[in-house]
Chain A
Amino acid sequence: MIYAIFCYHPEDVIGAWTKEEDDAVMERLGVVQDKLREQGKLGPVARLLPTTAATTLRKGRDEPIVIDGPFAETKEQLLGFYVVDCASLDEVIDIAKDLAHANPGIGSYEIRPASIFRPGANLI
């Protein structure tokens, strides 16, 4: 079975870390990742930029609308994710709109740039 692990943390606290503290945490996480990589269990890994860099596409009954900022509702649940490589925010928004149109339900698509991305092993 393929699992996804999502990491939720207080970003203002992490933003207050010094570079040394941040580096130390990344190094410790690296040790965990290396072990998984050797076992062939590790797929893609990403560290996302702060939520201030986020944009959200909201789809109600009408045409989806673009909102600055992260996804902030509690009545929808995280059901999936995509990783895409795009030249601009406009291009990602267009992709999210295609997804929104293809899906008959309502929902939101939070668009977050990543600062670190490692593709990882081909799991299947």
Chain B
Amino acid sequence: MSDAGWIDAALTAARPQAVGALLRYFRNLDTAEEAFQEACLRALKNWPKNGPPRDPTAWLIFVGRNSAIDGVRRQAKQQPLPPEELLSDLGDTETAIAEKIDGSDYRDDILRLLFICCHPDLPATQQIPLALRIVSGLSVRQIARAFLVSESAMEQRITRAKGRIGSGDVPFETPGPAERAERLAVVAAMVYLIFNEGYSAGSGEQQARFPLCEEAIRLARLLLRIFPTEPEIMGLTALLLLQNARAEARFDKDGSVILLEDQDRSLWNRKMIAEGLALIDKAMRHRRPGPYQIQAAIAALHARALLAEDTDWAEIDLLYAALERLTPSPVITLNRAVAVAKVRGPAEALALIEPLEERLSGYFHFFGVKGGLLMKIGRASEAREAFNRAISLANTAAEAAHIRMHLDKLARD
């Protein structure tokens, strides 16, 4: 890998920790971001010449902090800038700094940085771009492309979001254990949202939106590194990995959705599956189940089945039932119905979902599943009706095309 590639990767990796620490120091998001930018510029100039520092993150925090202080001094016209060599030649200072900041502060810095992006006044459409900009360091152009909007519209959205979280509200005190757990849950939910933004994209948009999935996985791993004993964070990371492992197999060459049971499982990413299975295994040992762990356990059962017929639907049914108890929702019941249809037949599954129709009357998948079940028990005209409803509610062209396939089959039979 070239110098530039290595430095780029190191700057990306250091970003959440460095910006988080600079934010704690300056208590102002813009100043923290500018300080980090400045430190990156100096890194690009210095590292190729002097080689990478032993601890790039500590280097960036130290240089960023000094450069921002210089900026303040420059504005106040008090003192000239110190010579560049003084900043760059950190030597032993760097080691001392690294030791000092290599403590629990780091964890709260990163969590705070993610948490301010989840400000309750911000809608999800602003939270996610803000997190991708500030924490992940994606460019406005990259984020705009992932959200399929123009660069200027995205720029505005991010500026508005930043304005809204005004630094007065940012919680700078070190959180207590209960508050920390609460923040972690909010942040985990946002990471899951980021993933879904990417994962729910249609095939045409897949290319542009796919980076959202990778970014979400990176953030989940980051959370797990700072909270290594939280089973729900293990579950979240496992869930994202196990779902993303199927990315290559989810669409055919015409861009139509391929259902889980029809996917070519040799296209599933075995490395991601291995990591996901290892994490869910670790999480289960804690015997503290939660929604992410249960969903990951369901995804793990699919991942373990080399052939669709090998899927342990009875166990999946049980896991969905547990998920229903933990977080009751009609969408979960709908998912459970798919397992119930496999284990106890389509009629029983239909009886399970019929009471949900009113609440899911605007939900594409409800009518897709309903139509499929009706088709299986031979109620063709009702199936057609449900499929037509599904098409009218489809979110992507691929979803609609998939339902049309069923309608064609009904017409043939």
Name which of B84-92, B147-155, B273-281 contacts chain A: B273-281
| A50, B275: Cβ atoms closer than 8 Å | yes
Output the residue of A13, A15, A17, A67 with the most chain B CB within 10 A. Answer: A13
Task: Please encode chain B, from 288 to 326, with 1 for each CB lying within 8 Å of some chain A CB and 0 for all others.
Answer: 000000000000000000000000000000000000000
Task: Please encode chain A, from 49 to 62, with 1 for each CB lying within 8 Å of some chain B CB and 0 for all others.
Answer: 11111010000000
Assembled-state Cα–Cα distance A11/B349 (Å) = 46
Task: Please encode chain A, from 80 to 124, with 1 for each CB lying within 8 Å of some chain B CB and 0 for all others.
Answer: 000000001110000000000000000000000111100000000
Prevailing SS type, chain A contact patch: mixed
CB contact under 8 A between A16 and B285, given known A50-B221, A115-B275? no
| A10, B275: Cβ atoms closer than 8 Å | no
Assembled-state Cα–Cα distance A68/B224 (Å) = 10
CB contact under 8 A between A113 and B9, given known A16-B218, A69-B228, A89-B282? no
Chain B contacts for A116, CB-based, 8 A? 271
| B221, A13: Cβ atoms closer than 8 Å | no
Interface residue? B12 (CB, 8 A) = yes
Total A-B pairs, Cβ < 8 A: 70
Chain A contacts for B10, CB-based, 8 A? 10, 13, 16
Determine the residue in chain B with the shortest Cβ distance to A28.
Answer: B1
| A21, B9: Cβ atoms closer than 8 Å | yes
CB contact under 8 A between A89 and B278, given known A13-B10, A68-B229? yes
Assembled-state Cα–Cα distance A55/B281 (Å) = 11
| B1, A21: Cβ atoms closer than 8 Å | yes
Interface residue? B164 (CB, 8 A) = no
| A25, B1: Cβ atoms closer than 8 Å | yes
Q: How far is the CB of B324 from chain A (nearest CB, A)?
A: 26
Q: How far is the CB of A111 from chain B (nearest CB, A)?
A: 9
Prevailing SS type, chain B contact patch: helix
| B275, A49: Cβ atoms closer than 8 Å | yes
| A53, B5: Cβ atoms closer than 8 Å | no
Interface residue? B256 (CB, 8 A) = no
Task: Please encode chain B, from 13 to 35, with 1 for each CB lying within 8 Å of some chain A CB and 0 for all others.
Answer: 11000000000000000000000
Interface residue? B237 (CB, 8 A) = yes
Assembled-state Cα–Cα distance A49/B218 (Å) = 14
Interface residue? A24 (CB, 8 A) = yes
Assembled-state Cα–Cα distance A113/B276 (Å) = 11
Assembled-state Cα–Cα distance A13/B275 (Å) = 18
Assembled-state Cα–Cα distance A16/B225 (Å) = 15
Considering only CB atoms and an 8 Å cut-off, how many residues of chain A contact the other chain?
A: 27
Residues in A28-64 with C-beta less than 8 Å from chain B: 49-53, 55
Chain A contacts for B271, CB-based, 8 A? 49, 115-116
Output the residue of A17, A25, A90 with the most chain B CB within 10 A. Answer: A17
Chain A contacts for B285, CB-based, 8 A? 66, 89-90
Binding site for B on A (CB under 8 A): 10, 12-17, 21, 24-25, 49-53, 55, 66-69, 88-90, 113-116
Binding site for A on B (CB under 8 A): 1, 5-6, 9-10, 12-14, 56, 218, 221-222, 224-225, 228-229, 234, 237, 270-271, 274-275, 278-279, 281-282, 285
**Would you give 16 A-B contacts (Cβ < 8 Å), ordered by A?**
A10-B13, A12-B13, A12-B14, A13-B10, A15-B218, A15-B221, A24-B1, A49-B278, A52-B237, A53-B279, A55-B282, A69-B228, A90-B281, A115-B270, A115-B271, A115-B274
What are the 5 tightest A-B residue pairs by CB atom distance, in nearest-first order?
A: A69-B228, A12-B13, A113-B278, A89-B281, A16-B9
